[in-house]
Amino acid sequence: MIVKKYPRRGKKIYRHKLSNGLEVVVASKPDHVRSYAFFATRYGGMDLRFQLDGRWLDTPAGIAHYLEHKMFDTEEGNVLQEFAKNGAYDNAFTSNAITAYYVECTEHFYDNLRLLLRFVSVPYFTGESVEKEQGIIAQEIRMTEDDPDWRVYADLMECLYKDSPVRIPVAGTVESIRQITPQTLYDCHKAFYTPSNMILVCVGNLDPEQVIRTAEELLPETGGPVIPRDYGQEESLFPVRQEHRRTMEVAMPMFLAGYKCRLQESGDAHLRQSIIGDLACDVLFGDSSPLYTRLYAEGAINGSLGGNFDLLPGAAYLYVGGDVKDPRRVFDAINAQARRLGEEGIDRDFYEQIRRASYGQMIRSLNSFENIAVSMTEGYFRNFNYYHFPEVFETVTKADVEAFLRENVTPERAALSIIDPAE
């Protein structure tokens, strides 16, 4: 077991890789009564095409999310009832690249950890239960498709990308989930729910040795092979379509603009690009930026303007949007400001203000059990240690952020999704 102290973060981390390939991480929180376990696999909504036992499988859109739902069913019944008996809260989520299951409690932690490891590792599906779940998830999908916030994002992804599965909703469609069978679910579990493709992160006042022993007792002795995945052909840095408009029942127009960015796949370069992208967002349209202040004073935005920078398998993009009177006017203003900052430079005092605020936010995020678990998981799957972010952060300069804006936030890289109010 490796023990790492991070004095600048005030943290102590224990790491150990089991013989089956599972990475076990324990973040020590000696002054807390709450404990948290996070068991995740590098498998998400984008992993639709992969190779298993020497053959390529094309699986239905939404299957990772569907599998997450079905894992709570065991031969003995629904595992949520068992967690409730122990006074624990258990849940899960599926993103584009990760499926994770977690439990939090104030007592009986190791009993709850055993439950978590057992039900995630042992699949149990029947034709009847799979068919029943289709109706439940189909209803969720229909509700989501009627949500303007989701719709404007989905339209944007279809504008930006041609082949990448990032353009496909994580939950799939009503039509795609009808193709899911128990055998398909077993195939996906066999491929991706193996110790060597997973990580266990535990946070709290815990005994690292006991966490490791529990994982060794309950999980398979061997891990599975590396699973080749296909995310489609390499994408151009230019969008497939520059604009999409639709009408929905909204009070005022809403928009989302996206910019395709060059991708750093893994390692510290991935973490560094994430930091640069986040700083670029804050500098360009953050709520203390000159652009935000001006547009708000002019009445062009109402306080809802915001965005982010995302890095996914084979895809990177910056997006910004909100509820505005004139989406095209705000979009043009964002492009003009990005060009100005890229060419003329960012005010040094303002950059230092943003830089300090961003660094402080990253430090504070380590007070959250959930943020620790998610950040350590994403770092492990992308081959970097999130706790090294202060050292990586120090390498980022104002010129790096200016270059990012100059190269990536341009009209040529952009697509615009707009939802107009129905008359």
Q: What are the structure tokens assigned to 232, written together?
A: 């489609």
Q: Is 361 a residue whose pLDDT tops 90?
A: yes
Q: What percent of the chain has pLDDT above 90?
A: 83
- What average pLDDT does the segment 394-411 reach? 97
Rounded to an integer, what distance in angstroms lies between the CA atom of residue 143 and that of residue 162?
26
- Planar angle of CA 148, 149, 150, nearest 5 degrees: 90
Rounded to an integer, what distance in angstroms lies between the CA atom of residue 402 and that of residue 350?
13
Q: What are the structure tokens assigned to 175, written together?
A: 């039509």
Nearest to 25 by CA among 241, 227, 222, 198: 198
Q: Is 8 a residue whose pLDDT tops 80?
A: no
Give per-residue pLDDT as tens, 304-313.
999 999 999 9
Determine whether domain 243-421 maps to CATH 3.30.830.10: yes
Domain residue ranges in the chain: 2-218, 243-421
Q: Is 9 a residue whose pLDDT tops 60?
A: no
Q: Is 76 a residue whose pLDDT tops 70?
A: yes
Nearest to 206 by CA among 8, 373, 387: 373
Single out the catalytic residue among 23, 68, 235, 378: 68
End-to-end CA distance of the chain: 64
User: What pLDDT does residue 265 have?
Assistant: 74
Give per-residue pLDDT as tens, 156-201.
999 999 999 999 999 999 999 999 999 999 999 999 999 999 999 9
> Does 217 participate in catalysis according to the annotation?
no
User: What pLDDT does residue 7 have?
Assistant: 62
Domains 2-218 and 243-421 share a fold: yes
User: What pLDDT does residue 253 have?
Assistant: 96
SS3 call for 238: coil
User: What is the pTM (predicted TM-score) of this model?
Assistant: 0.94
Please state which CATH number belongs to domain 2-218: 3.30.830.10
Instruction: Give the position of tokens 């034709």.
Output: 127
Residue 5: its H or E element:
strand 2-6
